Structure 1
Amino acid sequence: MRVGLIARDPGHPVLAAAAGALARRGCRVEHVGPDGGVGAGALADVYLLKARTPQALALARELERRGAVVVNSAAATGRCQDRVRMAELARGAGLPFAPTLAAGVLARLACPAHPFVVKSRHSRRHDLVALVDGPDRLRELVGRWPAEEVVTQPYVRGNGWDQKLWVVDGQLFAARRRSELAPEGEELVASEEWEPSAGQAALALRVGEVFGLQVYGVDLLDGAAEPVIVDVNAFPGIRGRPGAPEAVAGLALRVAGERAAGSR
């Protein structure tokens, strides 16, 4: 069995560990650079789409056109890249997603009442996620990100922690991590163990159904009446979660096996 990893860094801890687990099962694992292409030879049995750049999505779509199975699919991955469309899809399905408004270019932002959260409209590595608590903070961000296309969300006051849930083929992993919006200088460890409630777990699984995702992350905050989803990420890092690499490997084996059975 051949498994292709569409990733910028095949040495990412979760990918490397998943590749090791697959190799121990006799699989051949191949790195596929997201900026390149795949030759005219035989396709892999399944491709894992870790990269989310426009080039990676274009490559995934081409592979799918040629009959390959890609996890997550190009379409499902694309649903998580535009935060406005992400929020529209989630709220349209009845999910408690934070109201997310397109705000244009940051330098021309019509400033809502403080405090509020500003994020890059298009999700990517090292994008903009910041709390704006006054005009000085907004001016600082404009100086660094003047041409960034952004969205705004209401600020949900928390306790300095983000609730992170990751799902791999229906298997749930969770942790609390220091919020990007926590006041600077707070003495908090980077992450801590956290057990989601049954309702939070069910909500995370519902996200996968709505977005068509098999490997994904959900960021939750505690709202006044119910948990609030503030972001969904296709194929996140899932660092430090025991069992996650094995779950990724198991997903690849299951999908490839189903494809092989269907072609007989």
Structure 2
Amino acid sequence: MKIALLCRNAGLYSHKRIIEAAEKRGHDIDVIDHLRCYIDIAPHNPEIHYNGATLTGYDAVIPRIGASVTFFGTAVLRQFEVMGVYPLNESVAIARSRDKLRSMQLLSRQDVGLPVTVFAHRTSNAEELLEIAGGAPVVIKLLEGTQGIGVVLGETPKAAESIIQAFGGVNTNILVQQFVKEANGEDIRCLVVGDKVVAAMMRKGKEGDFRSNLHRGGSAESIKITPKERATALQAAKAMGLNVCGVDMLRSNAGPVVMEVNSSPGLEGVEKATGIDVAGKIIEFVEKNAKPGKTGTKSGITRKRKSAS
């Protein structure tokens, strides 16, 4: 099978592991920087050009698209889809998961457990936002933030109102969210592949930080999740339409509540915490669901022939 890995940095742990797992199982895998692709939107002959070559013959594409380049990255992925290449995660599913508001609306519609959340652009009446969210403490998030950036805890009503008004001063959209105190700065990351939770870890923020992101200095350990937590993770992945994702949730007094569904979850933390070969399970899923040969030629990257003078 010939696989395209869409990513900007082949040296990252997650990408090296995916390449290693694919090659170990006898597949050819090409690393393609999606920002260096050109999309040829031609009737009956859609193409993608990359480094002077035409990309052809792929059976599957594994998208690892950074949040800051979602628009162009999903456009390239969509072109692969138009060309008949099987996507590990579809472009539309990635786009909806990257929109925090839309993803929470979709999760809510499917009755997935969520913290009380208020979305706002006009922040002049901070007291009303706090009242709707259940009062301080609250977590205030920039809609476009990732990896814990743009996430602030308003511990008191006065502090929360000041933060809300400050965000309003830069003309941005925000989420004001119930603070789940009983979680004690810990969250659960479930790695979903297909219809299974293949690995789960408990993440804890560094001392004095309520955010549990590993990028922010948090720690992780393997955990046995409850049947309810497993069902919630699978329900969240299904609501987003994602085959592979990381579902982040908190243990609240009312049961598990989902904080985020990540369409390009990092593998380093969960593989090291659990010892599970998540990359291998991703490749196994691709093998079972992609159809080798359906795109015709197996050449992969084909050089354009120069026309005769």
TM-score past 0.5 threshold: yes
**Counterpart residue type for residue 95 of structure 2:** G
Deviation at 1:100, TM superposition (A): 2.7
**Counterpart residue type for residue 244 of structure 2:** V
Q: 1:132 to 1:34 in 2, by over 3 A?
A: farther
Residues 103, 109 of structure 1: 8 Å contact kept? no
**Counterpart residue type for residue 16 of structure 1:** K
The match for 1:176 among 202, 208, 232 is: 202
Matched residues, number: 259
My pick for the range that moved more, 164-173 or 42-51, is 164-173
Q: Distance in 2 between matches of 1:165 and 1:185?
A: 19
Deviation at 1:31, TM superposition (A): 1.1
- The percentage of aligned residue pairs carrying the same residue is 22
Alignment RMSD (CA, Å): 2.9
1:114 counterpart residue number:
136
1:215 counterpart residue number:
244
CA deviation string 1:214-258 (max 9, x = no partner): 1111111122221111111112103232211111221222233x3
The answer to whether structure 1 residue 9 and structure 2 residue 43 are counterparts is: no
Q: Distance in 1 between matches of 2:220 and 2:248?
A: 14
Deviation at 1:262, TM superposition (A): 10
Q: Distance in 2 between matches of 1:123 and 1:185?
A: 16
Q: Distance in 1 between matches of 2:139 and 2:148?
A: 16
Q: 1:260 to 1:207 in 2, by over 3 A?
A: farther
1:155 counterpart residue number:
179
Q: Distance in 1 between matches of 2:218 and 2:59?
A: 41
Q: Distance in 1 between matches of 2:118 and 2:163?
A: 21
Q: 1:123 to 1:80 in 2, by over 3 A?
A: farther
The match for 1:246 among 264, 280, 293 is: 280
Deviation at 1:146, TM superposition (A): 3.5
2:42 counterpart residue number:
none
2:36 counterpart residue number:
36
2:262 counterpart residue number:
233
Residues 80, 123 of structure 1: 8 Å contact kept? no
Greater Cα radius of gyration, structure 1 or 2: 2
Q: 1:109 to 1:195 in 2, by over 3 A?
A: farther
Q: Distance in 2 between matches of 1:147 and 1:175?
A: 36
Q: 1:164 to 1:259 in 2, by over 3 A?
A: same
SS in 2 for 1:80: helix
Residues 82, 123 of structure 1: 8 Å contact kept? no
CA deviation string 1:23-75 (max 9, x = no partner): 12222111111212232441421111111422111111122122222121101
CA deviation string 1:187-238 (max 9, x = no partner): x971122110111112111222222111111111122221111111112103
The match for 1:79 among 80, 91, 96 is: 96
Residues 81, 124 of structure 1: 8 Å contact kept? no
Q: Distance in 2 between matches of 1:120 and 1:213?
A: 23
Deviation at 1:161, TM superposition (A): 1.0
- How high is the TM-score relative to the length of structure 2? 0.74
2:299 counterpart residue number:
none
Residues 6, 63 of structure 2: 8 Å contact kept? yes
Residues 187, 202 of structure 2: 8 Å contact kept? yes
Q: Distance in 2 between matches of 1:12 and 1:109?
A: 44
The match for 2:225 among 196, 207, 224 is: 196
**Counterpart residue type for residue 91 of structure 2:** A
CA deviation string 1:68-107 (max 9, x = no partner): 22121101111111111111101101111223322227x7
SS in 1 for 2:262: strand
- How high is the TM-score relative to the length of structure 1? 0.85
**Counterpart residue type for residue 54 of structure 1:** F
Residues 186, 202 of structure 2: 8 Å contact kept? yes
**Counterpart residue type for residue 256 of structure 2:** P
Q: Distance in 2 between matches of 1:59 and 1:21?
A: 24
